[in-house]
């Protein structure tokens, strides 16, 4: 039978996110020993144990939440439903002791979908890959896709059809840089239509293209459509127009959002019309 560590290696090879839960401290009575481990997948499937009962149920739910947040956590529990202590969460058990669990997120920093394997998409992958992002690259040009480097998953597909068939992971990042304005629009509108929830949708475009897109989108979805996570023109206002310049600008914007940093000048703010719209959402 595989050990937990063998399962971690196996699931990592399959690009599956998970949390390893470890009991790191214990006082008093309780159904767990220090060092016991449980591996939890996004589906809630688990391997190993940290003691069973309410503790394990809570730990599994907490691990699933942390997979979505992509974060670590250390948390202490009092195993006595009739008592409360300041530094611990009380669970409905009668053991009377306390247990501290460490939740270790095991996975990539996040998932980035790059629609378009051209010069900008390739330059972006070169910058993002060393930062531990998982890169899915989608293009309908076989020869361009075959020459693409640093993509974890390369998919030969119609752009919008990929979304219909595979979806987009919640909380992920989407970069739209296809060779066609129409394909760009179809990608973003398909995400809106299916009510998917990436944290970031960036579109490579000029102010004129953006105006055209917004007019068509408001006409299709109404003025109340939520574009708060839509960044276009894409990137931070760093200057430069080469694919390499643009890729650094996009990566900087993604990192600012990932780390929840504010105060940067986004290119979407440079476009006054779009800035006024999303600021008032």
Which domains, and CATH codes, for the chain?
Answer: 4-106 (no CATH), 110-279 (3.40.50.720)
Q: Label residue 82 by pLDDT band (50, 70, 90).
A: confident
Cα–Cα distance measured from residue 97 to residue 119, given in angstroms and rounded to the nearest whole number: 59
Kindly report, residue by residue over 115-124, the tens digit of the pLDDT: 999 999 999 9
Residue 141 token pair? 């040009």
Q: What share of the chain is helix, strand, coil (3-state, %, to 5)?
A: 40, 25, 40
Please answer whether residues 243 and 119 qualify as being in contact, where contact means their C-beta atoms are separated by less than 8 angstroms.
Answer: yes
Could you tell me if 148 and 127 are in contact, meaning their C-beta atoms sit under 8 angstroms apart?
Answer: no
Q: Is the predicted pLDDT of residue 274 greater than 60, yes or no?
A: no
Mean pLDDT of the chain: 91
Whether pLDDT at 266 is above 60: yes
> Could you identify the residue written with the tokens 């595989």?
2
The tens digit of pLDDT for each residue in 159-188 reads 999 999 999 998 999 999 999 999 999 999
State how far the Cα of 106 lies from the Cα of 41, in Å rounded to an integer.
10
> Locate tokens 């019309």: which residue?
273
Mean pLDDT of 135-151: 96
Q: What is the mean pLDDT of residues 188-212?
A: 94
pLDDT tens for 21-70 read: 999 999 988 788 899 999 999 999 999 999 888 999 999 999 999 998 88
pLDDT score of 207 more than 80: yes
Strand, helix or coil at 238?
coil
What percent of the chain stands above pLDDT 70?
95
Q: Note the pLDDT of residue 261.
A: 93
* Number of continuous H segments (helices) and E segments (strands) in the chain: 10, 12
> Residue 226's CB: how many other CB atoms inside 10 A?
11
pTM for this model (two decimals): 0.81
Among residues 143, 138, 144, the alpha carbon closest in space to that of 119 is found at: 144
């Amino acid at each position: 039978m595989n050990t937990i560590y063998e399962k971690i290696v196996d699931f990592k090879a399959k690009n599956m996110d998970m949390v390893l839960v470890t009991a790191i401290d214990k006082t008093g009575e309780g159904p767990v020993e220090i060092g016991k481990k449980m591996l939890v997948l996004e589906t809630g499937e688990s391997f190993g144990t940290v003691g069973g009962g309410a503790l394990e149920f809570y730990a599994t739910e907490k691990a699933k939440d942390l997979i979505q947040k992509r974060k670590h956590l250390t948390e202490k529990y009092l195993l006595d439903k009739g008592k409360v202590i300041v530094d611990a969460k009380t669970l409905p058990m009668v053991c009377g002791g306390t247990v501290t669990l460490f939740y270790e997120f095991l996975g990539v920093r996040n998932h980035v979908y790059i629609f378009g394997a051209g010069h900008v998409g390739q330059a972006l992958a070169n910058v993002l890959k060393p930062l531990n992002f998982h890169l899915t690259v989608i293009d309908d040009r076989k020869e361009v896709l075959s020459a693409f480097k640093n993509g974890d998953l390369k998919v030969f597909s119609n752009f919008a059809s990929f979304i219909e068939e595979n979806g987009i992971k919640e909380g992920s990042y989407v970069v739209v840089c296809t060779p066609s304005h129409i394909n760009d629009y179809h990608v973003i509108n398909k995400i809106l239509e299916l009510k998917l929830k990436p944290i970031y949708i960036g579109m490579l475009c000029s102010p004129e293209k953006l105006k055209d897109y917004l007019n068509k989108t408001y006409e299709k979805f109404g003025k109340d459509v939520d574009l708060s996570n839509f960044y276009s023109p894409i990137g931070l206002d760093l200057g430069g127009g080469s694919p390499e310049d643009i890729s650094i600008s996009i990566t900087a914007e993604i990192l600012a959002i990932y780390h929840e940093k504010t105060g940067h000048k986004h290119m979407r703010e440079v476009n006054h019309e779009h800035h006024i719209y999303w600021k008032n959402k």
